[in-house]
Amino acid sequence: MILENVISDARDPSAVRWDIELQDGHIQSISPSKASPDTPSQLLLPPLCHPHIHLDKAYILTCNNRSSPQHPDYSDLCPTSGSFNEALVNTSRAKERYTPEDLYLRGSQLLATSYTQGVTSMRAFVELDHVTGTLPLNVAIRLKRDFAHLLELQICAFAQDPIFSTAHGDANRAIIDHALAEFGKSIGALGTTPYVETSREGSLMNIKWAITKALAHNLHLDFHLDYTLEPPSSSPTQRPLTYSVVEFLKEHNWARIADSSKTIVLGHCTQLSMLGNAERKTLAEAIVASRLPIHFVGLPTSDIFMMGRPGPDSDLSHNRPRGTMHIPSMIEELGLSACIGVNNTGNAFTPFGTGDPLQLASWAIGIYQVGTVKNAELLYDCVSNRARRAIGLDEGEQYSQIRKGQKLRGMLLLRNQEVVELPGVLRKSTMAISSRQRLSLKDVIWDPPESSLRSIVR
């Protein structure tokens, strides 16, 4: 296979174009391109990664199942208020209807869509509780096997519901324990949601339990954490749980006991955006000094949909603080490890969006108000290399210099079109408009190419 007119360093729009002959996914020969100046170039880029996406909940509201015993109808579960509580309640009702066929179809639709968008790795959350049992996990294990030639699916066994409070806490915890014992080899990460416990004490027990289990089963750890815009006051009950995670990881000797490849991911953490600059800096310094492999995953499209809702009696109902972690600043100013993820698509937690990481990175420019070329390059990193690092996958080569023998299989290739053809004035005639060319990461992030222009090098 020959790739013509390839730009391999998309940080430099004037970079040399190459003609590359590939054999078995590796560079057989490489030479400066002989293509004419009008030939559209192609960009070679690191593949995309979903560091945080929910597998079993994808497309509940957009699958449009025609009701059958295998494929349940969810159409009565569309949001009416769009509130977080409604999303929790309606998703619990949806989970009662899950079938293996339905989970497999929606899951494979998510994986297929992701692959065509340029995703080759992901952390997929599957819920385990007294309603679902281990069904979503069993289906995820089949999907992991059936898609293994296309992408790396890291399964996160996930407790969305309380495991230390409510009438079902003990049952929920027992199901996760059972899943870890029986299917541990197929599970890559353990995830919980400490903020859903009904007391502070329950949240702290949730965190300690998850750390102990992750260490015992040699898993990555992942918390949905501090999902509120309540300002942390001096009251210990409103202190962000991020502090407790760091303290408990130290108490449990994570750095000494855990396999060095295992990471800890903290998702959402919207409350950190409410800290004063000095306090956030102190927290960041404590995390950096701890040398713990903690990564933050910002979920901005989910967060701004759910956070900052006005109360029913609000006199300022149009004033909606769209709080989310400011990931670019956390990386560049605070020196933290961080990336961004889609979280949900087609369900009550995030009904909108195609799940495309490039579209997410593009929206992030507006959400974070970051408009420089360097910002665009960082945002590309946040949905590719940084996302892979967060979930403990190898960082991958940077590919700024390509050479003979190098493996290109698995890289993302973006094609440019020469022209767009439209119907002409006369029947059967056409108008051809020269296409704008995407030559750099900035072009890709500011104006993401449609999926049909993307492919993974095989």
Question: Please, which residue, 343 or 362, has the CB nearer to Zn ion?
Answer: 343
Q: What sign results for the dihedral spanned by CA atoms 323, 220, 385, 362?
A: negative
The answer for residues whose C-beta is within 8 angstroms of residue 36's C-beta and 6 or more apart is none
Question: Please, which residue, 304 or 408, has the CB nearer to Zn ion?
Answer: 304
| Binding segment toward Zn ion, per CB under 5 A, in 242-250, 339-347, 372-380, 410-418 | 339-347
Hunting for tokens 């995309």 — which residue is that? 48
**345 part of the interface to Zn ion, by CB under 5 A:** no
Question: Please, which residue, 258 or 299, has the CB nearer to Zn ion?
Answer: 299
Task: Name the β-bridge partners of 31.
Answer: 19
Token pair in block for residue 300? 């901005």
DSSP state string for 200-217: HHHHHHHHHHHHHHHHHH
Per-residue burial over 215-253, b = 16 or more CB atoms within 10 Å of its CB, e = otherwise: beeebbbbbbbbbbbeebeeeeeeebbbebbbebbeebe
- How are the residues of the chain apportioned to helix, strand and coil, as percentages rounded to the nearest 5? 35, 20, 40
- Judged by CB under 5 A, the number of residues near Zn ion is 1
Question: Please, which residue, 125 or 380, has the CB nearer to Zn ion?
Answer: 125
Q: Which of 254, 149, 270 shows the shortest CA–CA distance to 207?
A: 254
Token pair in block for residue 413? 């290739």
Token pair in block for residue 16? 């040399």
| Binding segment toward Zn ion, per CB under 5 A, in 127-135, 149-157, 342-350, 392-400 | 342-350
Cα separation, 248 vs 204, in Å, equals: 9
Pairing status of strand 152-159 against strand 26-32:
unpaired
Question: Please, which residue, 158 or 254, has the CB nearer to Zn ion?
Answer: 158
Site for Zn ion in 227-256 (CB under 5 A): none
The CB-of-343 to Zn ion minimum distance in angstroms stands at 5
Question: Please, which residue, 132 or 343, has the CB nearer to Zn ion?
Answer: 343
Which of 42, 206, 343, 375 contacts Zn ion by CB under 5 A? 343
Residue nearest to Zn ion (CB): 343
| Binding segment toward Zn ion, per CB under 5 A, in 36-44, 337-345, 358-366, 449-457 | 337-345
**347 part of the interface to Zn ion, by CB under 5 A:** no
Cα separation, 395 vs 385, in Å, equals: 6
Question: Please, which residue, 33 or 343, has the CB nearer to Zn ion?
Answer: 343
Token pair in block for residue 175? 């199901």
Cα separation, 440 vs 428, in Å, equals: 36
| Binding segment toward Zn ion, per CB under 5 A, in 25-33, 112-120, 230-238, 343-351 | 343-351
**416 part of the interface to Zn ion, by CB under 5 A:** no
Token pair in block for residue 261? 């490849």
| Binding segment toward Zn ion, per CB under 5 A, in 16-24, 143-151, 335-343, 406-414 | 335-343
The CB-of-52 to Zn ion minimum distance in angstroms stands at 6
The CB-of-51 to Zn ion minimum distance in angstroms stands at 10
Cα separation, 210 vs 200, in Å, equals: 16
**121 part of the interface to Zn ion, by CB under 5 A:** no
The CB-of-103 to Zn ion minimum distance in angstroms stands at 17
| Binding segment toward Zn ion, per CB under 5 A, in 145-153, 232-240, 336-344, 360-368 | 336-344
| Residue 355 main-chain phi, psi, to 5 deg | 80, 5
The CB-of-154 to Zn ion minimum distance in angstroms stands at 14
Q: Where are the beta strands (DSSP E) in 72-200?
A: 119-127, 152-159, 187-192
Site for Zn ion in 429-458 (CB under 5 A): none
| Binding segment toward Zn ion, per CB under 5 A, in 88-96, 191-199, 338-346, 440-448 | 338-346
**91 part of the interface to Zn ion, by CB under 5 A:** no
**193 part of the interface to Zn ion, by CB under 5 A:** no
Q: H or E stretch including 290?
A: helix 277-290
The CB-of-360 to Zn ion minimum distance in angstroms stands at 14
The CB-of-119 to Zn ion minimum distance in angstroms stands at 17
Interacting residues toward Zn ion by CB under 5 A = 343
